[in-house]
């Protein structure tokens, strides 16, 4: 198949389907499928049914698959046995939204000159539908490709039931590769394809030195101060100014990014100045773009999220706390093993503060896919065709549990073809999506599917 | 005057007055003069009037003196001009009390076999009345001594109006010495006379690195973490395990306690084991009694009371906080100057974390009186006569603003003759006082007043 030809065709197709796309997106956005909010259980179910209905409307078989948590919408657009197969992953649950803070109602999508405003429009209902319309195009053009849809409804709460779904449906989920459309470009005029995610390991350090808070005049100097001791322990764990972790063995398994990777990080449009401005930071640990990108995408971290204990009201109250707790997570990078990291920390802490309690919190493994090879190449070509710009291959600093689960259970390459832009307000108020990215997305996935159809299964 | 004779006489006097003492104590304890509770303003006024009435009942002139805050009850039992004069300080305001936690109603004093249960019974209404009855004895026996009563009603809230009272009444408060009865023995069979107090300097350290909390996956490694940086700063300020302060100049002005003082600290009955048990501590910084006593009475401290910022709810939330605050106080000892200490800290912090904000909180100067000389000797003899045991001279680890104010405004020696015992539940539930300490207190102060009367003014 000639991709040049496909491009003009897909454009016509996308423009013809624009009204359908907008109606479908409004249908989904208007349902407040907030996975964090137990009061939205019925909306989650309603959203799943509506999504399955949409899949059926393009000719796919679709089913709402129950799990011990929220259901997963599973669809298939079968071309025929022996043909290449791709599974597409999106999620249809959304972040909460406080209408009082929004300029337009978050769960009543408005369409304003090609801009779609509403919660979930860019994360991830809009991208899901762009993929779906591209799949419809592929089906109409009888591309020799089987397309499987995996639409999750628990992504925003860390995918607690997703691995169960994958394991229980391993057979019918069989695929040659997976494409995930749930990431953000670094800059609106520079598409980016992430191929790696950082992992996460949480720990809580707790120290108890007595049964009750006591007066610092009465006991100060003799009594231990668990807040002070935890501060000291944290300062021994890492240099907070540079971010350098001082726990022996912490960096042992870190895979250094290659020169080519670092070059691409910078080419992605990442800039410290823009980052600082966008996130309203006063200052950051480095002003160098390349080093900064490496820090957030390819280096592990040690982060203190909160310290509990003592008095935190207005002014000062002169008590010595009897216990304190530090909430800590580490972002991990390939090939760091969370178990080994936890062992290293336990050893380190026990040497210094034997009576500190170490509570292991959640674990997400780091993920590293391919930025070379046939699927990465297909992604690169699809982006170039659709948006006229070569994408930069980057990594994500965050962690997506669902991706690691798919990688482990389905054992196939995963490609990230995202459509969201920084200005779309991912997780923020006034979230929006737009027709430029939606139509570009339809073109991109149509091209991508065409290229996959040419691969031998 | 022969003190031996006085002793038997005072005993008879005290036993004769026991019913009066108990009635007077019940009258005061039954009034909830809680200075922390704005709802108790009327009770404060009622308590002041009742106290003035009691002073008048023993023949003293008494007046409720208004200040910008709570009033001070001032009384005089004049013997004649040219006679030695002593001012006695007590306070009549009390800590709050939650009746639900008490075995008996906190503001309806019960008398149970010589034990007086109720809020304020030992802190400080009981001791105030013991002093008052001793003064009545002195007056009846025409001791050549002028006695002035200063009964404060803001001690439990840090004496915010007391210095104003002292300054405005400086003339009529003229005295040769002051005796304060508001301290606790270390052990019930070992009277202790404190002669020093630690001071206090509070500071708040605040660091702001952005406008809002951000996601640690997105920004971790590049963004600064103000919690981590404050932990590091605190760890640079002091070694939390040993308590040693590392700020240059911090110890420059510390006056080392003498060998004799340290000996007396241990003789006071202070023991680490009892301290640990009484305060329900898991472990402390030293097991050595002498070193422990020195730590809480004669060494300065650096204490972290609370760290604000980030996420402190259940579990872990992976945000990087945009600001953090550490609440810190230092207990200071003679001859440390709070201004110099604050300067040293500001210099130290600015060198390490130039964008940290340093907010100076309240200051209380350390106080060191005499444990030798005529007034200390009189105190020692009075205790020995009254309780049959030589007192140990110790210091207090806490800070009493009123004492420093009296020392500065009235510039005379101050002696601490306390009557409270550890088992009386100072500031705790089920506070109580007892006739053994009350009658011993009447004897002690009668002896003390006798000895003062023999000094030349």
Tokens 């005529």, residue located: B374
**Residue range B199-254+300-364 in CATH 3.30.70.360:** yes
- Contact status, residue A453 vs residue A84, Cβ threshold 8 Å: yes
Segments of A120-198 assigned E as strands: 146-152, 177-180, 192-197
Say what the pLDDT of residue B1 is.
Answer: 47
- Measured from the Cβ of residue B246, the count of other Cβ atoms closer than 10 Å reads 12
Residue to substitute from B226, B305, B355, B365, interface A, most A β-carbons within 10 A: B305
Quote the DSSP letter at residue A330.
Answer: E
A42 contacts: CB under 8 Å, gap ≥ 6 = none
**CB spacing of B318 vs A311 below 8 angstroms:** no
pTM of the model as a whole: 0.87
Q: Please tell me which residue of chain B has the smallest CA distance to A293.
A: B222
- Measured from the Cβ of residue B308, the count of other Cβ atoms closer than 10 Å reads 22
CB-nearest to A240 from B221, B229, B312 is: B229
Cα–Cα–Cα angle for B445, B448, B450, rounded to 5 degrees:
110
A314 contacts: CB under 8 Å, gap ≥ 6 = none
User: How many Å apart are CA B26 and CA A353, to the nearest integer?
Assistant: 50
Say what the pLDDT of residue B326 is.
Answer: 98
* Three-state DSSP class for residue B79: coil
- Least Cα distance to A319 among A217, A245, A421 occurs for A217
**CB spacing of B222 vs A328 below 8 angstroms:** no
What is the residue extent of each domain of chain B?
Answer: 3-197+366-453, 199-254+300-364
CB-nearest to B303 from A225, A239, A283 is: A225
Helices (H), A39-157: 41-57, 126-140
* Three-state DSSP class for residue A311: coil
User: How many Å apart are CA B380 and CA A364, to the nearest integer?
Assistant: 69
Distance from CA of A329 to the nearest CA of B (A): 7
CB-nearest to B327 from A234, A239, A316 is: A316
**CB spacing of A240 vs B217 below 8 angstroms:** no
pLDDT tens digit at each of 457 positions of chain A: 445 556 788 999 999 999 999 999 999 999 999 998 999 999 999 999 999 999 999 999 999 999 999 999 999 999 989 999 999 999 999 998 989 989 999 999 999 999 999 999 999 999 999 999 999 999 999 999 999 999 999 998 889 999 999 999 999 999 999 999 999 998 899 999 999 999 999 999 999 999 988 989 989 999 999 999 999 999 999 999 999 999 999 999 999 999 999 999 998 889 999 999 988 999 999 999 999 999 999 999 999 999 999 999 888 888 999 999 999 999 999 999 999 999 999 999 999 999 999 999 988 999 999 888 999 999 999 999 999 999 999 999 998 889 999 999 999 999 999 999 988 988 888 999 999 999 999 999 999 999 999 997 5
**CB spacing of A220 vs B397 below 8 angstroms:** yes
Say what the pLDDT of residue A457 is.
Answer: 53
Roughly how many angstroms between the first and final C-alpha of chain B, as a whole number? 17
Q: Please tell me which residue of chain B has the smallest CA distance to A359.
A: B315
Q: Please tell me which residue of chain A has the smallest CA distance to B245.
A: A221
Contacts of A315 in chain B (CB under 8 A): 327, 361
Between strands B367-368 and B61-65, the pairing is unpaired
A117 contacts: CB under 8 Å, gap ≥ 6 = A103, A104, A109, A110, A430, A431, A432
Tokens 């992604």, residue located: A379
Distance from CA of A298 to the nearest CA of B (A): 10
User: How many Å apart are CA B330 and CA A305, to the nearest integer?
Assistant: 26
Contacts of A355 in chain B (CB under 8 A): 282-283
Query: What proportions of chain B, in percent to the nearest 5, are helix, strand and coil?
Result: 40, 25, 35
Roughly how many angstroms between the first and final C-alpha of chain A, as a whole number? 17
**CB spacing of B225 vs A303 below 8 angstroms:** yes
Say what the pLDDT of residue A6 is.
Answer: 66
Average per-residue pLDDT for chain B: 95
**CB spacing of B216 vs A303 below 8 angstroms:** yes
Between strands B392-396 and B192-197, the pairing is parallel
Confidence band, pLDDT 50/70/90 cuts, at residue B370: confident
Distance from CA of B431 to the nearest CA of A (A): 17
CATH code of the domain made up of A199-250+302-363: 3.30.70.360
Q: Please tell me which residue of chain A has the smallest CA distance to B227.
A: A304
Residue B285 has pLDDT above 70, yes or no: yes
- A312 vs A217, B86, B326, B356, B403, CA distance in Å? 19, 43, 9, 18, 29
**CB spacing of A224 vs B284 below 8 angstroms:** yes
Residue A377, token pair as written in the block: 């190449």
**CB spacing of B229 vs A241 below 8 angstroms:** yes
Pick the CATH number of B3-197+366-453 from 3.60.15.10, 3.40.630.10, 3.40.50.10860, 3.10.580.10: 3.40.630.10
Say what the pLDDT of residue B57 is.
Answer: 97
**CB spacing of A227 vs B284 below 8 angstroms:** no
CB-nearest to B232 from A204, A218, A240 is: A240
Contacts of B315 in chain A (CB under 8 A): 327, 361
Lowest mean pLDDT across A9-23, A25-39, B316-330, B417-431: B417-431
Q: Please tell me which residue of chain B has the smallest CA distance to A236.
A: B232
CB-nearest to B304 from A217, A218, A227 is: A227
Distance from CA of A314 to the nearest CA of B (A): 10
Exposed, middle or buried, A373 (CB in 10 Å: 0-12/13-18/19+)?
exposed
The H-or-E segment that residue B359 falls in is strand B357-364
- Least Cα distance to B88 among B153, B37, B120, B135 occurs for B135
């Amino acid at each position: 198949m000639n991709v040049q030809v496909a491009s003009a065709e897909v454009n016509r197709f996308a423009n013809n389907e624009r009204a359908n796309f907008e109606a479908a997106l409004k249908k989904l956005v208007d349902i407040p499928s907030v996975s964090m909010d137990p009061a939205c259980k019925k909306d989650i179910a309603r959203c799943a049914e509506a999504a399955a209905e949409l899949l059926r409307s393009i000719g796919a078989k679709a089913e709402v698959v129950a799990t011990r948590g929220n259901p997963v919408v599973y669809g298939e657009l079968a071309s025929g046995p022996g043909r290449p197969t791709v599974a597409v992953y999106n999620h249809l649950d959304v972040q909460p939204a406080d209408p009082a803070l929004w300029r337009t109602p978050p769960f009543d999508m408005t369409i304003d000159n090609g801009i779609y405003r509403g919660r979930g429009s860019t994360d991830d209902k809009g991208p899901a539908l762009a993929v779906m319309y591209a799949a419809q195009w592929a089906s109409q053009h009888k591309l020799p490709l089987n397309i499987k849809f995996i639409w999750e409804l628990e992504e925003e709460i860390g995918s607690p039931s997703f691995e169960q779904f994958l394991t229980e449906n391993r057979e019918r989920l069989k695929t040659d590769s997976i494409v995930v459309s749930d990431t953000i470009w670094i800059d609106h005029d520079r598409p980016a394809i992430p191929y790696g995610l950082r992992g996460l390991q949480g720990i809580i350090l707790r120290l108890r030195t007595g049964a009750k808070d006591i007066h610092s005049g009465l006991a100060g100097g003799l009594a231990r101060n668990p807040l002070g001791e935890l501060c000291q322990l944290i300062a021994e764990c890492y240099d907070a100014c540079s971010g350098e972790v001082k726990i022996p063995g912490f960096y042992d398994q870190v895979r250094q990014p290659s020169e080519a990777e670092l070059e691409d990080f910078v080419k992605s449009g990442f800039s410290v100045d823009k980052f600082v401005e966008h996130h309203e930071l006063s200052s950051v640990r480095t002003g160098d773009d390349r080093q900064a990108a490496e820090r957030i995408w390819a280096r592990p971290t040690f982060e203190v999220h909160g310290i509990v204990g003592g008095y935190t009201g207005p002014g000062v109250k002169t008590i010595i706390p009897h216990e304190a707790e530090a909430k800590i997570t580490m972002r991990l990078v390939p090939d760091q093993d969370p178990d080994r990291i936890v062992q290293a920390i336990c050893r380190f802490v026990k040497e210094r503060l034997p009576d500190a309690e170490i509570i292991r919190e959640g674990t997400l493994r780091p993920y590293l896919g391919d930025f070379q090879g046939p699927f990465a190449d297909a992604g690169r070509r699809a982006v170039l065709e659709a948006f006229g710009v070569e994408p930069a291959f980057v990594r994500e600093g965050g962690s997506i549990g669902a991706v690691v689960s798919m990688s482990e259970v389905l054992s196939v390459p995963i490609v990230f073809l995202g459509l969201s832009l920084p200005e779309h307000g991912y997780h923020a108020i006034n979230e929006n999506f737009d027709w430029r990215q939606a139509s570009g997305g339809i073109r991109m996935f149509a091209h991508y599917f065409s290229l996959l159809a040419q691969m031998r299964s």
